[in-house]
């Protein structure tokens, strides 16, 4: 009934909560990209020679590559020379020893974002690495983590302190020439988080990185590397926001996970980059490569993502299941509204015996947005008795949005079994009538129904983030009841 | 980067000139347009899994010689039209001459009908999605034109036997155009068969247009020899409340491909697409289907089953596209696959592209082997293992075979499937 | 409490209700009987405010308020409850969450404090036992995977929880076996009170053996053609709808 549609639409008039700008003096490179820029970047970070070489190699590969055009997204060409590749708050020459030295403006910024960094106020049980534009500005709970043997630090610091680990694993999962955006990231990445969980250690707390883009006309190119050694476990979360600006901004991150024997990484993302305004102006281009190498036997990776932000999302957190009995999971909620475009999904590459994977994808499209699931499930000849189950559901809110499903399924092993199901539906008039007959107003009804639709994914998130994700969805859906 | 290989110009020289002028003109136009056409590669999305099997060498460009008369006597029950290397053999054909039903070879069309046809050919097929269907338009030497006047009903299935005589290397381009008028009815059976052992290419295109309330049943059996590459395409456009019912049966070859595109253009149009494919040895088969829900209140139901044995390769790509404003569309797609050997490969891609919200769409796909529990159950009841495999493999596709509405095709299919199963489970 | 005057309503342009008049007072139990297609369900949907049904003329007063001025959820908060003939599934939303949201929406409307989760859980468990539903049902998705009988009992449970002023039961007996019917009837009887009215819509009089109505109305062709007491239902059962000159396609009419 048209009336339900109108209600849903009214509900989705979103207010972006994190759209403020922090007024802070910054060192920012002039826009432009060439080998000199990369040399300067590497020099500012005082990087060892091997890093510079690595970056230059990536840059040269990137020059030979073409921007991918296969995703179901549409945007004007990015001018890579109009972007600044480095921006950092001033006074931050060396690594910080104490949070007291962090610029109070920055602390206020994170406070406002709900991520207090001070010891007395910080989130209980969650260690935070706060990345502001191109640099990490603070990392909490360093000591208790060190005691447990866990390394959790900005990657720029890891390059100096743990070069052997960086050399061994950086680019081992996502090679420099893997794809256009990964090559660009490899050439110009500025900071990000580094995690190493030693053998047999269960990380005593949740680790998280909070990414904030602040400066205008800059790109953010962070790089995350997490290594879970034999028999270890870590749960890692990332959150992202950016100011409201009329120009599009580029975010091209690379995340590499290395999982050894019997180890497990749980990686959760709540992505809320600025999505652009109601007319589709502005917003972040979120072009991200995330991949896990389940090298070890019995290793496991769970990707859970709640994607509500960004003007354009291009992102396929993947698992290469090399170790026997390794397990890959992908739980995703992607919500698009107004003119947002998302092309997201996963790749599960089964190489080892008895490997198994689960994909649960929930896409919600509202307004004039476009939301695509794109996924690959592949069983190599050695994937004896491998299994995959995929469920992709799309929910449409309003008659001018689009929902797509592009699953690729390839099998070369007769004992492997894959099951794939997909459905598309809308919030039904009957459901709305039932809720309203019970006294629940339309707005609450839609939010309840959408939350119910996403339940299988939310239950995979750590508790406090699940609540946040639910709220985020509510905010993002405002004005969409249609 | 290496420039992508293009279609050899050798392919652009048609053979026989004995067609009405408007069709000759169309042919040469299409030929010109194909000059330097890049051949599909692994990077071509809709050829991702099949480009490596496609071998368009120059020797295949030659038009296969046309004999005046058909070679073998074909025992076909009922109405039939025989094509030999893409050219009709009237002496071997037998079809009714009834009011309201026109059945004519392209070569015999008068100029006005021919120019009307030239206008309409290729209108049902999206050139991008079925690139190589255009090659047929540049090369056909004859074809079958069928027109049903409003309310006309063909009382028995019409068989179109396309026989390729591979006495030498070359290619053939069978072509069919069916114009089904308002509330008309027809069952068309296309059988593709071959003689001889030389490597050949068959590039076949069939088009259907269905006016309001027309009911068309299409049965397509692709069963040529191991030397035949088959590139087939079927295009369908449907008006209000028309019904298109398709049954495709395919046996693998060095390169086999069928593109099936259906456009539901007015409310109430509906289609059912069934498909069965089996591949063995080093065979390949690729089915690409597209259903376009253009208008509201249309239904589509699609069921494809593949079985791949030995080192063979089966591909299914099914796309459902619900256009904006095609509200109240119902679309269901199911693709199940049986992978009988680890040397074999199955690739499937069931796609949904949806731009309307009030729709019911679902697809499901599975790849697996025969259920071990079921085999065990049968064996425990004294059935031998080979027999158990046979029974379960047949059960996997039987439902679709039973739905084929033409008995002789059902039987042929059954016989071929039995051969397939016998060979596949020989050593088991 | 409820006063319906000359109500006309249509669905997709087709007129179904052709002038309904009905008065219901607090404490009364009314039964509306009629063959399939007579407009019984339409009447209950119109009362609850389903927008798929268009009211073309007439008026309805509910406790002094013009019902047509109220949105669906406002009617619910004023105390109109509809037990659905075909309860809707809402995947992923637990019964408990759904009901607590509803109960708190009502309480807020009445200016009462919201119930916290623990408090609500306790109440809900008690009520679920009253309709012989395992409290585990509260954790499952709304009507998700429920049997027909469970869905109907779930509806009655919701009525008990939401404490409406007017409970409309649309074919609550259909699809129930005799034991389930008794349980559902017990639940409905527990609803009966001096300040609450119940409107039952049913094809068969079977339900009326367990929930004895004060008034029975026969609906046919979009109008109430006969009204009476309990005995009218029994007479209908004995003689069938044909007795009143009503055609009914259903052979099993009135039992």
The two beta strands, A327-336 and A356-366, are: parallel
Q: List the single residue in A with minimal CA-CA distance to B367.
A: A418
pLDDT band at B372; cut points 50, 70, 90: confident
Q: B103 near B158, Cβ under 8 Å?
A: yes
Q: What is the pLDDT of residue A144?
A: 85
Count the helices and strands in chain C (H runs, E runs): 7, 12
CB pairs under 8 A between A and B: 108
DSSP H helix total and E strand total for chain A: 12, 24
CA distance A249 to B361: 36
Distance, CA of B4 to chain centre: 27
Q: Give pLDDT, residue A10.
A: 47
- Asked if B89 contacts B76 with a C-beta cutoff of 8 angstroms, the reply is no
CA distance C42 to chain A (A): 14
Contact list, B356 vs chain A (CB under 8 Å): 396, 399
Q: By C-alpha distance, which of C218, C240, C241 is closest to C228?
A: C218
Inter-chain touch C93–A1, beta carbons under 8 Å: no
Residue in chain A lying closest to B339 (CA): A414
Please name the member of C50, C91, C99 whose beta carbon is closest to the beta carbon of A433: C50
Residues of C whose CB is below 8 A from A7: none
CA nearest neighbour of B238 among B288, B291, B198, B276? B291
Cβ–Cβ below 8 Å for A417 and B348: no
What is the CB-side half-sphere exposure of residue C35 using CA atoms within 13 A? 17
Distance CA A151, CA A162 (A): 9
Instruction: Extract the tokens encoding B47.
Output: 């050829």
Whether residue C76 and residue A437 make contact (CB cut-off 8 A), yes or no, is yes
CB within 8 A of A45, min separation 6: which ones? A51, A156, A159, A190
List the 151-210 stretch of A: residues with Cβ below 8 A of C.
none
* Phi, psi at A47, each rounded to 5°: -75, 150
Contact A217, A247 (CB under 8 A): yes
DSSP A340: -
CATH class of C2-244: alpha beta
Instruction: Please give the full DSSP string across A295-317, using - where no structure is assigned.
Output: -STT-EEEEEEEE---SEEEE--
As a whole number of angstroms, the distance between CA B378 and CA A403 comes to: 44
Structural domain of A462: 2-481
Whether residue B346 and residue A406 make contact (CB cut-off 8 A), yes or no, is no
CA distance C214 to chain A (A): 26
Cβ–Cβ < 8 Å for A291, A182: no
Of residues A381, A410, A421, nearest to B364 (C-beta): A421
Interface test with B, best of A420, A430, A432, A450 (most B CBs within 10 A): A420
What pLDDT score was predicted for residue B382?
78
- CA quadruple C236, C237, C240, C246: dihedral positive or negative? positive
Does A410 contact B353 at a Cβ distance shorter than 8 Å?
no
Cβ contact A–C (≥3 pairs, < 8 Å): yes
**Contact with chain A for residue C46, Cβ under 8 A:** no
User: Which of B45, B349, B360 lies closest to A409 in CB terms?
Assistant: B349
Is A435 within 8 Å of A404 (Cβ atoms)?
no
Instruction: Check C88 against A428: CB less than 8 A apart.
Output: yes
- DSSP letters spanning A393-425: EEEEESTT-EEEEEEEEEE--TT-EEEEEEEEE
- Structure-block tokens of residue B266: 């007015």
* Number of folded domains that form chain A: 1
Answer whether A455 touches C (CB < 8 Å): yes
Residue A120's CB: how many other CB atoms inside 10 A? Answer: 5
Interface contact A449, partner C, CB < 8 A: yes
Q: Which of B271, B276, B300 is nearest to B287 (CA)?
A: B276
Other beta carbons within 10 angstroms of residue C146's beta carbon come to 19
- Top residue of C12, C45, C51, C79 to mutate, by most chain A CBs within 10 Å, is C51
CB B346 within 8 A of CB A385: no
Strand partners, A137: none
Q: What are phi and psi of A349, to 5 degrees?
A: -105, 110
Strands B284-293 and B79-84: unpaired
pLDDT of residue B70: 52
More confident of the two residues B263 and B18: B263
Which of A414, A423, A425 shows the shortest C-beta gap to B342?
A414
Q: Are strands A233-241 and A254-259 parallel, antiparallel or unpaired?
A: unpaired
Q: What is the pLDDT of residue B71?
A: 52
C87 vs A: CB within 8 A: yes
Domain boundaries, chain B: 9-370
Which A residues 308-367 touch C at CB under 8 Å?
none
Contact (CB<8Å) B354/A411: no
Bridge-based pairing of strands A283-294 and A254-259 is: parallel
Cβ-based contacts of A411 with chain B (< 8 Å): 337, 339, 345-347, 367
In which band, very low, low, confident or very high, does the pLDDT at B84 lie, cut at 50, 70 and 90? very high
**Alpha-carbon gap, residue B246 to B405, rounded angstroms:** 10
Q: Give the DSSP per-residue string, C174-224.
A: TT--HHHHHHHHHHHHHH-BTTBEEEEEESSSGGGGTS--SEEEEEETTEE
pLDDT at position A464 is: 65
B and C in touch (3+ CB pairs within 8 angstroms): no
Q: Does A433 contact chain C (CB < 8 Å)?
A: yes
* B366 near A CB under 8 A: yes
Sign of CA dihedral C239, C244, C247, C250: negative
Question: Which residues in chain C have Cβ-Cβ distances shorter than 8 Å to A11?
Answer: none
User: Does the distance separating the beta carbons of A399 and B357 come in below 8 Å?
Assistant: yes
Q: What are the C-alpha distances in Å from B374 to residues B388, B393, C97, C251? A: 8, 11, 42, 45
Beta strands in B85-128 (DSSP E): 87-88, 101-105
- Please check whether residue B365 touches A, CB under 8 A: yes
Cβ atoms of A447 and C100 closer than 8 Å: no
HSE-CB at A266 with a 13 A cutoff on CA atoms is: 11
> What residues of chain C lie within 8 A of the CB of A395, using their CB?
none
Per-residue pLDDT tens listing for chain A (482 residues): 334 444 444 444 456 777 777 777 777 888 889 999 999 999 988 999 999 999 999 999 999 999 888 888 888 888 999 888 888 877 544 444 555 667 777 777 777 777 667 655 556 667 788 877 777 777 778 888 889 999 999 898 999 999 999 999 999 999 999 999 999 999 999 888 999 999 999 998 888 888 877 777 788 898 999 999 999 999 998 887 777 777 788 889 999 999 999 999 999 988 888 888 888 888 888 999 999 999 999 999 999 998 888 899 999 999 999 999 999 999 999 999 889 999 999 999 999 999 999 999 999 998 899 999 999 999 999 999 999 999 999 999 888 899 999 999 999 999 999 999 999 988 888 899 999 999 998 888 988 898 889 888 888 887 767 766 677 676 666 666 54
Tens-place pLDDT, residues B220-233: 999 999 999 999 99
Reading the block at residue A327, the tokens are 């397990």
User: Residue B344: CB partners within 8 Å, gap ≥ 6?
Assistant: A412, A414, B279, B308, B309, B310, B311, B312, B313, B314
* Residue B17, helix vs strand vs coil: coil
Q: What tokens were used for C194?
A: 């001096």
Contacts of A451 in chain C (CB under 8 A): 92-93
**B105: Cβ contacts below 8 Å, ≥ 6 apart:** B88, B90, B142, B143, B144, B145
Q: What is the pLDDT of residue A418?
A: 96
Q: Which residues of chain A does C159 touch, with a Cβ-Cβ cutoff of 8 Å?
A: none
Structure tokens at C119: 């408090």
Helix (H, G, I), strand (E, B) or coil at C135: helix
Q: Would an 8 Å CB–CB cutoff place B108 in contact with chain A?
A: no
B361 at the A interface (CB within 8 A)? yes
Write down the residue that tokens 């020893």 correspond to: A97
What pLDDT is stored for residue B312 in this prediction?
96
- Residues facing B238 on adjacent strands: B210, B264
Pairwise CA distance, residues A80 & C187, whole Å: 70
- What is the β-pairing status of strands C90-94 and C141-142? antiparallel
Name the helix (H) or strand (E) containing B27.
helix B21-34
Alpha carbon distance A115, C175 (integer Å): 54
Distance CA C62, CA C78 (A): 9
**Could you tell me which residue, B426 or B152, shows the higher pLDDT?**
B152
CB contact under 8 A, A431 and C84: no
Taking phi first (over 0 means left), then psi (-120 to 50 degrees means alpha), and beta for anything else, what does residue A365 get?
beta
Q: Is A478 helix (H, G, I), strand (E, B) or coil?
A: coil
Judge: C84–A434 Cβ closer than 8 Å, yes or no: yes
Report yes or no: C184 and C173 within 8 Å, Cβ to Cβ: yes
3-class state of residue A272 by DSSP: coil
Beta strands per DSSP E along A133-176: 135-139, 151-154
**Record: contact B342-A405, CB cut-off 8 A:** no
Distance from CA of A406 to the nearest CA of B (A): 5
What is the model's pLDDT at position A98? 56
Q: Are A4 and A480 in contact (CB under 8 A)?
A: no
pTM for the full model?
Answer: 0.87
Mean pLDDT of B272-291: 97
Q: CA nearest A66 in B: which residue? A: B1
| Chain A interface includes B119 (CB < 8 A) | no
Touching chains, C (3+ CB pairs < 8 A): A
* CA A396/CA A383 separation, integer angstroms: 36
């Amino acid at each position: 009934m048209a009336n339900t549609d109108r209600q849903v639409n009214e509900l989705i008039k979103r207010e972006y909560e994190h759209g403020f700008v922090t007024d802070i003096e910054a060192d920012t490179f002039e826009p432009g990209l060439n080998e000199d820029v990369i040399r300067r970047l590497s020099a500012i970070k005082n990087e060892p020679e091997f890093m510079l070489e690595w970056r230059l190699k990536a840059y040269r590969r990137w020059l030979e590559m073409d921007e991918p055009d296969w995703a179901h997204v549409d945007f004007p060409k990015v001018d890579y020379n109009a972007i600044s590749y480095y921006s950092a708050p001033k006074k931050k020459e060396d690594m910080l020893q104490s949070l007291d030295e962090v610029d109070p403006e920055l602390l206020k910024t994170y406070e406002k974002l709900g991520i207090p960094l001070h010891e007395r106020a910080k989130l209980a049980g969650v260690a935070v690495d706060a990345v502001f534009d191109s640099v990490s500005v603070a990392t909490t709970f360093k000591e208790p983590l060190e005691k447990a043997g866990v390394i959790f630090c900005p990657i720029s610091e890891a390059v100096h302190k743990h070069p052997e680990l960086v050399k061994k694993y950086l680019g081992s999962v996502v090679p420099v020439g893997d794809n256009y955006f990964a090559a660009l990231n490899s050439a110009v990445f500025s900071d990000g988080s580094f995690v190493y969980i030693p053998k047999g250690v269960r990380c005593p707390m949740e680790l998280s990185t909070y990414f904030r883009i602040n400066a205008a006309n800059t790109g953010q190119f962070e790089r995350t590397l997490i290594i879970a050694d034999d028999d270890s476990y870590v749960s890692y979360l990332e959150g992202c926001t950016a100011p409201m600006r009329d120009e599009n901004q580029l975010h091209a991150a690379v995340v590499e996970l290395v999982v050894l024997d019997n180890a497990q990484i749980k990686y959760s993302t709540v992505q809320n980059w600025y999505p652009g305004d109601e007319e589709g102006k502005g917003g972040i281009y979120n072009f991200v490569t995330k991949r896990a190498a389940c090298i070890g036997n019995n290793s496991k990776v769970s990707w859970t993502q709640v994607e509500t932000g960004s003007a354009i999302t291009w992102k396929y957190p993947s698992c290469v299941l090399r170790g026997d009995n390794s397990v890959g999971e992908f739980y995703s909620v992607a919500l698009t509204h107004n003119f947002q475009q998302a092309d997201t999904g996963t790749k599960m590459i089964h190489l080892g015996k008895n490997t198994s994977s689960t994909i649960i994808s929930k896409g919600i499209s509202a307004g004039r947005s476009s939301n695509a699931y794109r996924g690959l499930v592949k069983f190599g000849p050695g994937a004896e008795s491998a299994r995959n189950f995929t469920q992709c559901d799309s929910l449409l809110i309003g008659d001018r949005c689009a929902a797509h499903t592009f699953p690729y399924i390839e099998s070369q092993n007769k004992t492997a079994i894959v099951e794939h199901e997909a459905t598309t539906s809308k919030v039904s008039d009957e459901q709305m009538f039932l809720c309203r007959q019970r006294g629940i107003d339309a707005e609450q009804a839609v939010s309840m129904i959408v939350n119910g639709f996403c339940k299988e994914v939310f239950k995979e998130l750590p508790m406090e983030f699940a609540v946040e994700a639910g709220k985020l969805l509510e905010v993002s859906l405002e004005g969409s009841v249609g | 980067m290496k420039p992508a290989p293009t279609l050899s110009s050798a392919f652009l020289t048609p053979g026989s000139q004995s067609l009405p002028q408007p069709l000759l003109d169309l042919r040469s136009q299409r030929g010109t347009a194909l000059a330097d056409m890049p051949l599909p590669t692994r990077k071509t999305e809709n050829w991702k899994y099949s480009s490596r099997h496609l071998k368009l060498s120059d020797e295949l460009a030659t038009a296969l010689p046309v004999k005046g008369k058909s070679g073998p006597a074909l025992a076909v029950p009922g109405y039939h039209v025989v094509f030999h290397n893409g050219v009709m053999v009237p002496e071997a054909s037998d079809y009714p001459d009834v009011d309201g039903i026109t059945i004519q070879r392209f070569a015999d069309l008068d100029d006005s009908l021919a120019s009307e046809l030239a206008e309409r050919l290729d209108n049902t097929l999206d050139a991008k999605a079925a690139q190589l269907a255009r090659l047929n338009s540049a090369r056909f030497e004859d074809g079958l034109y069928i027109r049903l006047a409003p309310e006309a009903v063909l009382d028995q299935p019409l068989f179109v036997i396309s026989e390729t005589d591979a006495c030498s290397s070359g290619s053939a381009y069978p072509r069919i155009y069916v114009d089904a008028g308002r509330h008309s009815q027809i069952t068309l059976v296309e059988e593709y068969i071959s003689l001889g052992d030389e490597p050949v290419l068959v590039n076949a295109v069939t088009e259907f247009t269905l006016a309001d309330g027309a009911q068309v049943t299409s049965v397509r059996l692709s069963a040529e020899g191991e030397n035949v590459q088959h590139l087939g395409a079927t295009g369908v456009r449907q008006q209000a409340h028309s019904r298109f019912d398709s049954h495709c049966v395919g046996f693998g070859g060095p390169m086999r491909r069928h593109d099936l595109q259906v456009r539901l253009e007015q409310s109430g149009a509906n289609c059912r697409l069934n498909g069965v494919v089996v591949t063995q040895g080093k065979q390949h088969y690729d089915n690409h289907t597209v259903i376009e829900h253009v208008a509201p209140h249309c239904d589509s139901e699609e069921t494809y089953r593949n079985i791949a044995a030995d080192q063979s390769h089966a591909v299914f790509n099914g796309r459902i596209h619900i256009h904006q404003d095609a509200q109240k569309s119902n679309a269901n797609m199911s693709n199940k696959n049986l992978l009988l050997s680890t040397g074999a490969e199955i690739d499937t891609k069931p796609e949904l592209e949806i731009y309307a919200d009030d729709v019911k769409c679902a697809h499901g796909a599975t790849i697996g082997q025969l259920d071990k529990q079921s085999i065990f159950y049968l064996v425990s009841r004294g059935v031998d293992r080979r027999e158990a495999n046979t029974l379960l493999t047949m059960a996997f596709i039987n439902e679709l075979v039973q739905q084929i509405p033409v008995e002789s095709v059902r039987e042929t299919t059954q016989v071929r499937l039995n051969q397939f199963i016998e060979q596949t489970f020989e050593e088991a | 409490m409820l006063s319906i005057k000359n109500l006309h309503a249509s669905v997709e342009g087709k007129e179904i209700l052709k002038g309904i008049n009905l008065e219901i007072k607090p404490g009364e139990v009314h039964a509306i009987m009629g063959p399939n297609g007579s407009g019984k369900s339409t009447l209950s949907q119109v009362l609850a405010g389903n927008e798929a049904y268009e009211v073309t003329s007439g008026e309805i007063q509910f406790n002094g308020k013009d019902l047509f001025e109220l949105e669906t959820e406002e009617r619910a908060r004023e105390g109109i409850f509809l037990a659905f003939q075909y309860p809707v599934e809402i995947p992923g939303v637990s019964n408990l969450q759904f009901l607590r949201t509803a109960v708190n929406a009502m309480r807020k409307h009445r200016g009462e404090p919201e119930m916290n989760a623990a408090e609500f859980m306790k109440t809900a468990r008690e009520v679920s036992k009253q309709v012989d539903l395992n409290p585990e049902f509260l954790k499952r998705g709304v009507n998700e995977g429920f049997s027909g009988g469970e869905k109907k009992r779930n509806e009655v449970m919701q009525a008990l929880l939401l404490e409406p002023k007017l409970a409309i039961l649309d074919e609550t007996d259909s699809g129930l076996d005799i034991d389930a019917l008794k349980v559902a009837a017990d639940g409905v009887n527990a609803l009966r009170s001096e300040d609450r009215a119940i409107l039952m819509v049913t094809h068969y009089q079977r339900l009326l053996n367990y929930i004895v109505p004060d008034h029975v109305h026969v609906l046919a062709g979009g109008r109430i053609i006969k009204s009476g007491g309990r005995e009218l239902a029994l007479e209908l059962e004995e003689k069938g709808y044909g007795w009143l000159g009503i055609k009914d396609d259903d052979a099993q009419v009135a039992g």
